[in-house]
Structure 1
Amino acid sequence: MKRRSQLYVPGINERMIVKSLDIPADSIIFDLEDSVPPDDKERARELIRRSLSAYSWKGKELCVRVNQLTTKDGLRDLLFVSDLPVDVILIPKAEGSLDFVHKVTGKMLEPIVETPRGLAEIEDLVRSDGVVAISYGAADLALHSQGEIKGYEGNIYVMTRVATSARAYDVEPVDKVYFDLRNAEGFRAEAQLAKSLGFSGKQVIHPSQVEIANSVFSPSKEELEWYREVVDSYEKAMREGKGAIRLRDQLVDQVHYKIAKRYLQDYSEIK
């Protein structure tokens, strides 16, 4: 499952839910948390339930972001989502082991690191049963760290910690949302930075960001041609007893070969 783009859709907004049917995001996240006022939580649950019965998202990964698990609404959300035909539950302000969530719901999980404790205990999160992806939130992390949002946007330490912790346990790291909807190039630059650190994709909050995320987190035809050349040339060299080769004036060894093989396996349908 590719998670190049994960689009948040307010669970209380029927128009946006319907619009998401035609948006080419890899994952659709029906939100019950920040985008839904406290008095509208139950109405949002019912709208999501009706929508899932009425519409088909044609192979997209369907997700629900629940409320914080330490709240009554969060517990109600878990019971609600358990019976829905969705794939993944997003856990905001996730901390510690989430084994119990997977056990109760049977769903795959994507924790969101949004507190200092969550970041400190990130290994517990990615090792939890059912966790397939992980993301983080700059605004909440800044709030709970008594810092500023700008200090956590593009923060190399946080991004590297999330990406490497996730990859250590075969979990997909997905980069955070980007707030400035007018700055497409800023979004692209942040996505490119995330890709360079090992992130699989990016969470998005507007349809205009989806195509950019899909493009950044997919190799170009030229890149795929290069990876095929690396694989073919290196396998030929291995048969000749060589451990490293020079290809287009670049050193290619086993690490480069493994990276190329991974990309070709992940994106073999791109010609």
Structure 2
Amino acid sequence: MRSQLYVPGNNEKMIRKSTQLPADSVVLDLEDAVPNVEKAKARDLLSSLFSELDWGKRRVCVRVNPTYTLHYYDDVKWVVSQDKVTCLLVPEAEDGLSSLHRATGKDVEPLIETARGLLKVQDIVREEGVFAVSFGSADLALSMNGDPSVLGTNQYIRTAVVAAARAYGVEPLDRVFFDLRDLSGFESECKSAKSMGYSGKQVIHPVQVDVANKVFSPTEEEVRWAKKVVDIYESRSREGKGALRIDDRLVDAVHYRMAKRILDSLGG
């Protein structure tokens, strides 16, 4: 998932529009985007729209309410019968994800948004049904009595999340970037996240989707390099050569695996 777009679960116009946007994943939000008095109406609206809308190959997710709220239980009971929903985003995740997966049959994406969740991130991503993970800088700042702008770019936090994800085969998605006017800043943060190992970015506006998709896709230069490395390495390895010199750079088995990963990401 290069881009995962949040859409308010009570906004019919935006929900309909999300079926046409190039986001790899759409998150129909029942949490922060929906006032408490609108929660039930939002579920009813989504139920009616699911019967007519088609998101194609986009992964359709729902962000449920925090587990300590009554709305959470209403969300879980409702989502079990929604076949178009394949995954659940769990805010302020700390535990209980395996039970949620088994009860609903849906994949689970925890959001690391509390100090306790951050300290438990390795345990969280290892729970049954977890396929991706992200973190929320605003809620995390609230939990830690810190500054969202500082914690959102904190290298320890970003490294802890991506390292846990990669260690246990879970897809890491970088946090939301809130300044919709600053597309250059958004692009810069996407590039930074990609260089750290994140596979995509959570986004909150359609204008951010194309930028995220572009940054988290291999560049033409990367693809050319990957094809060259794979071709030459495989040819030379048959001759018994492991470490090679390609364009004045040392290339060995780890570079070959990196090149293969780039080509595999193109889908053949």
Please say whether Structure 1 and Structure 2 have the same fold, judged by a TM-score greater than 0.5: yes
The 2-side partners of 1:221 and 1:243 are apart by: 26
**Under a length normalisation based on structure 2, what TM-score does the superposition of the two structures give?**
0.97
Gaps of 5+ in 1: none
The 2-side partners of 1:180 and 1:200 are apart by: 21
User: Cα deviation per residue 1:52-101 (whole Å; 9 max; x = unaligned)?
Assistant: 11111112100000000111001111111111121110000000241100
Asked whether the equivalents of residues 191 and 202 of structure 1 are also in contact (C-alpha less than 8 Å), the reply is yes
Residue from 45, 48, 64 that aligns with 1:47: 45
User: Cα deviation per residue 1:144-165 (whole Å; 9 max; x = unaligned)?
Assistant: 0011112112211111111110
Could you list the runs of 4 or more consecutive aligned residues of structure 1 that deviate by over 2 angstroms after TM superposition? Answer: none
What secondary structure sits across from 2:153 in the alignment?
Answer: coil
Give the structure 2 partner of residue 141 of structure 1: 140
What secondary structure sits across from 1:181 in the alignment?
Answer: coil
**Under a length normalisation based on structure 1, what TM-score does the superposition of the two structures give?**
0.96
Give the structure 2 partner of residue 81 of structure 1: 79
Structural mapping, 1:8-19, within 5 Å:
8-19=6-17
The 2-side partners of 1:197 and 1:157 are apart by: 11
Residue from 21, 24, 35 that aligns with 1:23: 21
Give the structure 2 partner of residue 34 of structure 1: 32
Asked whether the equivalents of residues 96 and 122 of structure 1 are also in contact (C-alpha less than 8 Å), the reply is no
The 2-side partners of 1:130 and 1:147 are apart by: 31
Residue from 59, 67, 70 that aligns with 1:69: 67
The 1-side partners of 2:64 and 2:49 are apart by: 17
Structural mapping, 1:252-263, within 5 Å:
252-263=251-262
User: Cα deviation per residue 1:152-179 (whole Å; 9 max; x = unaligned)?
Assistant: 1221111111111001111000011100
Count of aligned pairs: 267
The 2-side partners of 1:167 and 1:48 are apart by: 33
Give the structure 1 partner of residue 100 of structure 2: 101
The alignment status of 1:203 with 2:236, answered yes or no, reads: no
Alpha-carbon distance, 1:268 to partner: 3.6
Asked whether the equivalents of residues 224 and 264 of structure 1 are also in contact (C-alpha less than 8 Å), the reply is yes
Deviates more, 1:104-113 or 1:94-103: 94-103
What secondary structure sits across from 2:51 in the alignment?
Answer: helix
Asked whether the equivalents of residues 97 and 124 of structure 1 are also in contact (C-alpha less than 8 Å), the reply is no
Deviates more, 1:248-257 or 1:210-219: 248-257
Structural mapping, 1:47-196, within 5 Å:
47-85=45-83, 86-196=85-195
Gaps of 5+ in 2: none
What secondary structure sits across from 1:180 in the alignment?
Answer: coil
Across the aligned residues of Structure 1 and Structure 2, the Cα RMSD in angstroms comes to 0.9
Residue type of the partner of 1:222?
A: E
The 2-side partners of 1:217 and 1:224 are apart by: 13
